[in-house]
Structure 1
Amino acid sequence: MTLPATPTPSFDVFLKYDALTRLLFDYADAHPTLVSVDSIGKSHEGRDIWVATVTNIATGVAADKPAFWADGNIHAAELTASTAVLYFLHQLCSGYGTATEEGRQITQLLDTRTIYLCPRLNPDGAELALADRPRHIRSSTRRYPFDEEPVEGLTMEDVDGDGRILSMRIPDPHGAYKKCEQDPRLMVAREPGEFGGEYYRLMPEGTLKNWDGLTVKVNKDVEGLDLNRNFPAFWRQEFEQVGAGPYPTSEPEVRAMVDFVVAHPNIGAGISYHTHSGVILRPMGTHSDDDMIPEDLWSYKRFSAMGEKLTGYPAISIWHDFKYHPKETIGGTQDWLYEHLGALFWVVEIWSPNQAADIKDYKWIDWFREHPVEDDLKLLKWSDEQCGGQAHVDWQPFQHPQLGAVEIGGWDKMNYWRNPPPHLREREAARFPKWMMQVALSLPKLELLRTEVRALGPDTWRVRLAVANSGWLPAYVSQRALQRKIVRGVMFEIVLPPNDPSITLVSGKERMEGPQLEGHAPKNSLIAFLPSREVTADRAVAEWVVRAPKGTRLALTARADRAGAVRTEVSLD
């Protein structure tokens, strides 16, 4: 039987739901021993939320291997996030078994680990963002907090039917903006105390309801959820955290992910892809580095520095460097994986138009509040030279149904800010596979060291099973996991043939807990070397004494939640 060829998607195009579904199953059809696709739940509108499980089933089932999770597109219009996850899937499928250095790394990865990939956690919102007349809501399409249409105000939408939501400008002597002296296409802020010039009032492209001819209020989206604020850790009500939903995991998309991760304790690390800012964000969102467990902070900094080197994105702390307001904290997010479960977790904000325009040394959030006009001119030049003049759209007159004569134009935030332009999408997605693979290959991995059978008498035997953690990280992954009592030590199990009174367990238990296993990460550098008291802390041994006839076969198992499982048989002879 000839299998279908590996799909060759175009990563400069954002896929609608049906096309994305077909692509995932095409990978599964082309690589049935590597890829399976399953629904982990239904979205608000009833779409399946797909997860691809990627591992070589010839070397063991997915649940018996340590696992890495990656998701994307929890926010509706952040479509490049799904591209990054799909690109990783493509690299894994096309590289497995090849003789290149990357191919050998991929082969080792899928032979020893499991990768769970959810390219689109929010299929409803993404479908709305990809509609012919798009809406740029943040998350789910469920109406929240009220199931009502606005009775007044401006609703952001594509008014002129060009498939974009831009800005509208209207001449107004009290307006806050003016044309830039260096380039009149660009609107810049009016200076304090400035008067006597030509000024404009700017507002989002949209339509107005019950307009009084004077005042304009921009409506919030009736779909006011933020799925990334609906996770269990540090969840807070609407008055403290906008869009968090009525209670933690109230939304089916979030509940599907939480249920899946909890049901797969082999997941030891993960990444969630978002846009935009061009940064790698590490926990915590609610605590400073000083309040984190030091050993976990050291691990985070080590892997984050690795990510910075391999991707070119700076790695920063959410708490210290990425607050929307200095007095606000970001809780209830996907760093729930670390806070509650002790799995290492990052958020990657893909794409920075600032970096593309060669703007240096800017602060990711502060820049949007205030920056020099020279930055805007660099961005305008980038639009002209690299984007065919489409990132910033020239102002065009339009007869608005309520406002009358306006001009529509300005920055195309959806296609050039929130997401990179088509010709740069694959380049951005290609930054991450090496880092993800290195993190996944650092996960703990339980391996069989040896089995021993020794006769203590004619029908009495000592049986020993020795295992080791061959991974860089400890079997528990983080101190937070130990603190939260999420992970047990190695669980050893012996299975005796049933219904045979001649076979009994003399000592040892059918199931017993062994120690936590360290990884091969050194505790300090050789320059500061101090002899360790636990030279073999990566190993564990279980022992039983069994009374049974010679030739009896016994099944032995060792399992560590985050390090996988090993299974073997011994013969008493």
Structure 2
Amino acid sequence: MTLKFNLFTLGIGICMGSSALAQDYSTYSQFNQRVTSLAAANSSMVNIQSLTKTTGGKDIWMITIGTGNTGQKPGIAIVGGVEGSHLLGAELALGFAEKLVKGAATDSIRALLAKTTFYVFPNMSPDAGEQYFAKLRYARNGNARSTDDDRDGKVNEDGFEDLDGDGRITWMRVEDPTGKYRVNPEDPRSLVLANPAKGETGKYLLFSEGIDNDKDGQFNEDGEGGIQFNKNMSFNYPNFQPGAGEFAVSENENRALLDRLFELSNVFAVVTFGPNNNLSAPVVFSPAGISKRIITGYFEPDTKINALVSDVYNKQTGSRDAPKTSPGGGDFSQWAYFHYGRFSFSTPGWWVPKSKPDTTAKEKPLLIEDAVPNYLRWAKSQGITGTYKEWTKINHPDFPGKVVEVGGIDPFALINPPYKLVDGLVTKHTGFLVALAKMAPQLDIVNIETEKAGDNLTRITLTVMNKGAIASQTKVGERSYWVKKIAVKVITTNSQNVVSGRKNQVLDAIEGYGNQTLSWLVQGSGNLSIEAGSPTTGSKKIEITLK
């Protein structure tokens, strides 16, 4: 059973009272204050801009961090808040910006900012994220746009109801012989799917807490929370799915981010703090994915870069025991590779550690793959309370005469750590992003040779070298107009003529620490210039004296 499935079966709720998820995560107004304060106190290296406002009237911020001409240096885009319920993603993105700027007091970070630009888009789902702080709280990923998710001609007509009056939305289980769920034998607080092949029978139907307002047999299928940023992108767009929008990139925040990224031709890598994970566990090369007209798999050289960066990530963060994740359609991190053509790395930043059985309590190792018992054991060992709602009987108008119970675990707890852990996670991920920036492609021209090749002729030979660990561009990017290749130009005077070799040419990707040797035969005398560069590698220019 995957983590995604467990999140569905466990229940949606918000921790209350003495929970480890105390409201230390930033509200929208607090978040804005942090962004504006960062810029005001560090104007020499920080620039902020509101790219647009969401349907709900909230700013989508872009933070540019660097010194000198920021657009002329290799850049990294960091994107947080791709899903509103993942509060940690926004905290990691903005926390990185704050720690990086604070670190500029050191020589190493000052030098890094002199040759690398960081573009931070800290929260792409501010409408949805505010639901965490609302009077009625539930995990939400859609923005403030009203939608007709069940396509019955009405909008937002079947939302959540707080049936037990505790201010949060969890799940409800209904005893029914046709149910597909059974109590987890390893922990009765959890439900798992029954497996008929093993002789297992179900006992419960499972629904989100609420009432079937429009009497269509579904619960809460058309409530507030419209279009999801992370389902509205153009790659593998999930047509007609709730939360995806009427068409790809329909929302202000999606369109504004993509427009700006296409303008930022110097970005060589995108790091997403979201549910997908190709950092603790890199992608695997699949020939079938690149043999189609529409490419759906990573090119092999790009998987090698992913593996290299993954190794750095795991060393920097101490990452282990990551849950399996499967990218969904219309998500941002896949778009960043397949449609933007950049190296795309994604991580949730945190997941519930694998718990060990408490031998003093005679606990046994967990054998059934289910996130709930693992979390509850870990939470107990950490002294975390208030993140689980015991199943409680209620009277439900849609199920007269049946036993209906409301309860389950808080999904914020499964994907967002106790806030006391956030600063340490920000520190680790800042270290990773700094290490990634130091791996950036960097162009140089070496092994320059000139020799007299005849009367008034000079043979010029040189090597264009990538001094960085990461390739100058992705292999998928070689097919895109928007990813600029390395351009090499021989700049002559009127009295000079390139007899052999291309005066202007572009080079395909040069792998990390790789090189390409070029040669020209030039007629004439005096000096000429040769320049090589691209937005993602920087440029190098040399002067040559003809023999």
TM tier relative to shorter chain: 0.7 to 0.9
**1:255 Cα offset (Å):** 1.2
**1:131 Cα offset (Å):** 2.1
Residue in structure 1 matched with residue 171 of structure 2 by the alignment: 167
2:238 corresponds to 1:232: no
- Superposition pairs of residues 452-463 of structure 1, within 5 angstroms: none
Whichever residue aligns with residue 440 of structure 1, its letter is: A
Q: Helix, strand or coil for the counterpart of 1:117?
A: strand
Q: In the TM superposition, what whole-angstrom CA distance separates every residue of 1:154-179 from its partner, at most 9, and x where no partner exists? A: x3354455443222345667666666
Residue in structure 1 matched with residue 438 of structure 2 by the alignment: 441
Change (3 A) 1:352 1:279: farther
RMSD, aligned CA: 4.9
Q: Helix, strand or coil for the counterpart of 1:156?
A: coil
Contact 2:76 2:270 in 1 (8 A): yes
Tell me which of 371, 376, 380 is aligned to 1:380.
376
Q: Helix, strand or coil for the counterpart of 2:516?
A: coil
Deviates more, 1:537-546 or 1:337-346: 537-546
Q: In the TM superposition, what whole-angstrom CA distance separates every residue of 1:388-419 from its partner, at most 9, and x where no partner exists? A: 332222345667687799654321112x1132
**1:423 Cα offset (Å):** 2.9
Change (3 A) 1:561 1:179: closer
Residue in structure 2 matched with residue 412 of structure 1 by the alignment: 410
Residue in structure 2 matched with residue 122 of structure 1 by the alignment: 125
- Superposition pairs of residues 247-258 of structure 1, within 5 angstroms: 247-258=247-258
Deviates more, 1:482-491 or 1:267-276: 482-491
Contact 1:134 1:158 in 2 (8 A): no
Residue in structure 2 matched with residue 456 of structure 1 by the alignment: none
Tell me which of 535, 540, 543 is aligned to 1:561.
535
Whichever residue aligns with residue 560 of structure 1, its letter is: S
2:333 corresponds to 1:334: yes
2:493 corresponds to 1:473: no
2:486 corresponds to 1:489: yes
**1:269 Cα offset (Å):** 0.5
Tell me which of 78, 82, 103 is aligned to 2:86.
78
**1:226 Cα offset (Å):** 3.5
Residue in structure 2 matched with residue 298 of structure 1 by the alignment: 304
Unaligned runs of 5+ in 1: 1-9, 360-369, 453-463, 497-502, 523-535, 549-553
**1:335 Cα offset (Å):** 2.0
Residue in structure 2 matched with residue 133 of structure 1 by the alignment: 136
2:522 corresponds to 1:521: no
Contact 2:462 2:518 in 1 (8 A): no
Contact 1:70 1:85 in 2 (8 A): yes
Change (3 A) 1:221 1:493: farther
Whichever residue aligns with residue 296 of structure 1, its letter is: D
Q: Helix, strand or coil for the counterpart of 1:253?
A: helix
Change (3 A) 1:376 1:558: closer
Residue in structure 2 matched with residue 22 of structure 1 by the alignment: 33
- Superposition pairs of residues 156-195 of structure 1, within 5 angstroms: 156-160=160-164, 162-169=166-173, 185-186=189-190
Q: Helix, strand or coil for the counterpart of 2:39?
A: helix
Change (3 A) 1:130 1:376: closer
**1:313 Cα offset (Å):** 3.5
Change (3 A) 1:376 1:11: closer
Contact 2:211 2:219 in 1 (8 A): no
Residue in structure 1 matched with residue 269 of structure 2 by the alignment: 269
**1:119 Cα offset (Å):** 0.9
Change (3 A) 1:380 1:299: closer
CA distance in 2, matches of 1:221, 1:97: 48
Q: Helix, strand or coil for the counterpart of 1:410?
A: strand
CA distance in 1, matches of 2:256, 2:350: 27
- Superposition pairs of residues 303-452 of structure 1, within 5 angstroms: 303-313=309-319, 322-323=325-326, 330=329, 333-353=332-352, 355-358=353-356, 372=368, 376-396=372-392, 407-414=405-412, 416-446=413-443
**1:18 Cα offset (Å):** 1.9
Q: Sequence identity of aligned pairs in percent?
A: 23
Change (3 A) 1:258 1:314: farther
Q: In the TM superposition, what whole-angstrom CA distance separates every residue of 1:422-448 from its partner, at most 9, and x where no partner exists? A: 233334444322222222221222468
Whichever residue aligns with residue 45 of structure 1, its letter is: G
CA distance in 2, matches of 1:465, 1:285: 34
Q: Helix, strand or coil for the counterpart of 2:381?
A: helix
Change (3 A) 1:271 1:120: same
Q: In the TM superposition, what whole-angstrom CA distance separates every residue of 1:192-228 from its partner, at most 9, and x where no partner exists? A: 5679x9x66543223442569xx66452546453332
CA distance in 2, matches of 1:79, 1:540: 54
Residue in structure 2 matched with residue 499 of structure 1 by the alignment: none
CA distance in 2, matches of 1:391, 1:542: 73
CA distance in 2, matches of 1:129, 1:11: 11
Change (3 A) 1:121 1:465: farther
Contact 1:44 1:142 in 2 (8 A): yes
Residue in structure 2 matched with residue 34 of structure 1 by the alignment: 45
CA distance in 2, matches of 1:272, 1:540: 41
Residue in structure 2 matched with residue 149 of structure 1 by the alignment: 155
Contact 2:160 2:209 in 1 (8 A): yes
Contact 1:293 1:479 in 2 (8 A): yes
**1:37 Cα offset (Å):** 0.8
Q: Helix, strand or coil for the counterpart of 2:24?
A: coil
Unaligned runs of 5+ in 2: 1-20, 291-296, 358-365, 450-460
CA distance in 1, matches of 2:23, 2:433: 21
Residue in structure 2 matched with residue 203 of structure 1 by the alignment: 207
Q: TM-score, normalised by structure 1?
A: 0.70
Q: Helix, strand or coil for the counterpart of 1:335?
A: helix
**1:538 Cα offset (Å):** 7.8
Change (3 A) 1:421 1:220: farther
CA distance in 2, matches of 1:176, 1:378: 22
Residue in structure 2 matched with residue 529 of structure 1 by the alignment: none
Whichever residue aligns with residue 56 of structure 2, its letter is: E
Contact 2:309 2:436 in 1 (8 A): yes
CA distance in 2, matches of 1:85, 1:431: 12
Whichever residue aligns with residue 56 of structure 1, its letter is: T
Change (3 A) 1:566 1:138: same
**1:150 Cα offset (Å):** 5.6
